[in-house]
Amino acid sequence: MISTVKVSSKMGAGFRTEIQCSHPFIIDQPKASGGTDEGPNPLEVYLTSLAGCISALARIIAMQRKIDLRGVEVIVEGDINKDFLMGQTKEGRAGFTAVRTCVKIDAVMKEEDKEAYLEEIEHRCPISDNMANKSTVEVEICDQEKFK
């Protein structure tokens, strides 16, 4: 079954962007970059979505398989060409060229069981899937009716 997930944002003067979703939050830039530093920047939000998705899937699968999961810790880091992002070069690409994730699973499991568990987590994680595979992305100018 296909479901649609919808979020929206509104930015005024400066970089402060109000995100409307189930739990509204602010995306911003650091003061050194002209922002007000009221929230994470878009790159951080993107990477944290992978960490959050891995954590959520770890819990979902643990509940389904009756694994006594005490906790999960995730570190995500990504490499990006900021010169491209800032328009200083046209060589390369805008997105992350590499994303690395380190996961610590706190559960009584053999190492090979943790590996299989992590493989299932990654396989079922929509954020990981979207990072690894192409999705259709459409960007267009919308009329005011769409925003009411």
Has residue 113 got a pLDDT over 80? yes
Residue 102's beta-bridge partner residues?
75
Count Cβ atoms within 10 A of the Cβ of residue 117 and give its class: 0-12 exposed, 13-18 middle, 19 or more buried.
Answer: buried
Alpha helices, H only, 66-141: 82-85, 111-124, 126-132
pLDDT at 85: 87
Res 108: pLDDT: 94
Partnered with residue 19 across adjacent β-strands are 9, 25
Query: What are the structural domain ranges in the chain?
Result: 7-39, 41-133
Tens of pLDDT along 33-86? 999 999 999 999 999 999 999 999 999 999 999 999 999 999 999 999 999 988
Closest CA to 45 of 71, 72, 17: 17
- Binned at pLDDT 50, 70 and 90, residue 121 comes out as very high
The CATH T-level fold of domain 41-133 is GMP Synthetase; Chain A, domain 3 (3.30.300)
The whole-angstrom separation of Cα 20 and Cα 60 is 25
CB 52 within 8 A of CB 75: no
